[in-house]
Structure 1
Amino acid sequence: MSWWIIGLIALGTFGFRVAGPLLRERIHLSPRSVRMLGLGATALLVSLAATQTVYSGEGFAGWARVLGVAVAGVLIWRRAPFVVVVVGAAALTALLRLAGIV
């Protein structure tokens, strides 16, 4: 990748970061628009997490990963501490892979 492309991306990122505080008082969005933007960001993150859970490379990632993420989701829903969520999901995934369920 050329250095000028990296510089252009850095400049664009800086521009977006500066535009927020500068335009905050000039642009007013309706409460519905603000809510929709928040829901759009949430939908984007959920779809990215689902894609990374189910696929690895060009194929199915395996049931161990899917079930590990499902356990993490249940633990988060039950409001378990973050460490418990990570260790629980990793432990289940490791045990399933040890049992031969890839």
Structure 2
Amino acid sequence: MSWLWIGVIGATVVAFVQKWLGYQVPPAVLEKPRIARVTALLPVALLGALVATQAVADGQHLTADARLPALAVAALLLALRAPFLAVVIAAAVVAAVCRALGWG
């Protein structure tokens, strides 16, 4: 067995144990106001970090390509409370037009 598979199996076990430990937390701990605020905002922060990373990173390098204007259009439409499907389609169209014009 290679070191890669040992790492994959080890990461799987760690992820399982971490999730299991999360289920063992008493409800009284999760109902505290500070913990409730953190657990409510944590998914938003993680998703924002993922979007930011995917929008400007290309491997080990920062890049500015068609994803940035598409992200800007999506953010604007979300701020204007547009339907999510319209946001996705508009961002895809902007990215496609930018790529067709040779940017990205």
TM-score, structure 1 as length reference: 0.74
CA contact (8 A) 2:29 2:35 kept: no
- 1:69 Cα deviation (Å)? 0.8
Alignment of 1:69-88 (within 5 A): 69-88=71-90
Residue 98 of structure 2, aligned match among 96, 99, 102:
96
Partner Cα separation in structure 2 for residue 12 and residue 78 of structure 1? 42
Aligned-residue sequence identity (percent) comes to 34
- Is 1:68 aligned to residue 70 of structure 2? yes
RMSD: 2.4
CA contact (8 A) 2:74 2:90 kept: yes
Q: Unaligned regions of 5+ residues in structure 1, if any?
A: none
Q: Which residue of 1 aligns with 2:12?
A: 10
Number of corresponding residues = 101
Partner Cα separation in structure 2 for residue 28 and residue 54 of structure 1? 35
The 1:43/1:68 distance shift into structure 2, 3 A limit, reads: same
Partner Cα separation in structure 2 for residue 36 and residue 65 of structure 1? 30
User: Which deviations, in whole Å up to 9, do the C-alpha atoms of 1:35-73 show, x marking residues without a partner?
Assistant: 1343344333313311221222313132x2101011111
